[in-house]
Amino acid sequence: MGTEEKLNSLISEFRSLKTEDERNAFDVKMKDVLAKMGSEERQAFRQAFLASAKNTISEAKQLKEEINSRLQFNGIENYLSLSRIAEEYFGKSRSWLYQRINGLIVNGKPAQFTPEERKKLADALLDISNQVKNFALSIN
């Protein structure tokens, strides 16, 4: 079993632990696994672990950004026509916009806005808010 496979197996096992006793037993197992490794294998394991940790942090940051985006949009979609926004500002369908707002799985991964699309959405919302404001001022 290669270094990455061994690490992935240990990570999977760790994620399945439920009790403190299981975690303590796993700690003992990890110490044993590391003690049996030679210095080169330990260095490779350390590098694989660091790469895995960086990847996990990156995925967590992306997930946080997606959740924050959805929370910010929560509620205002009741007052907006997503179909009109999608068609007029993006030239896309309502479902395209809805997928990105809600991070739905498309082609095996969560749909999300590109930075340019996020800017376009912000501009669209500002444009709509200006139209609403101007209308409100005109009826007063």
User: pLDDT tens-digit profile of 80-134?
Assistant: 888 999 999 999 999 999 888 888 889 998 888 899 999 999 999 999 999 999 9
Name the band, by pLDDT with cuts 50, 70 and 90, for residue 69: low
Q: Tell me: pLDDT of 47 over 80.
A: yes
Query: Under a CB-based contact definition with an 8 Å cutoff, are residues 30 and 10 in contact?
Result: yes
Taking Cα atoms as reference points, which of 134, 129, 125 lies closest to residue 88?
125
Amino acid letter, 48 = A
| pTM value surpassing 0.85 | no
DSSP 106: E
15 Cβ neighbours under 8 A, 6+ residues apart = none
Instruction: State the pLDDT confidence band at 63, using cuts at 50, 70 and 90.
Output: confident
- Please state, in angstroms and rounded to a whole number, the distance separating the CA atoms of residues 38 and 54: 24
Q: Give the angle 73-118-127 at the CA atoms, nearest 5°.
A: 75
pLDDT band of residue 72 (cuts 50, 70, 90) is low
Q: What is the pLDDT of residue 132?
A: 92
Strands (E), 40-120: 105-106, 109-110
The per-residue pLDDT for 83 is 92
Specify which residues 109 forms β-bridges with: 106
d(CA 123, CA 44): 48
Residue 109, pLDDT score: 87
For the chain, give the mean pLDDT. Answer: 88
| pLDDT confidence of residue 61 | 81
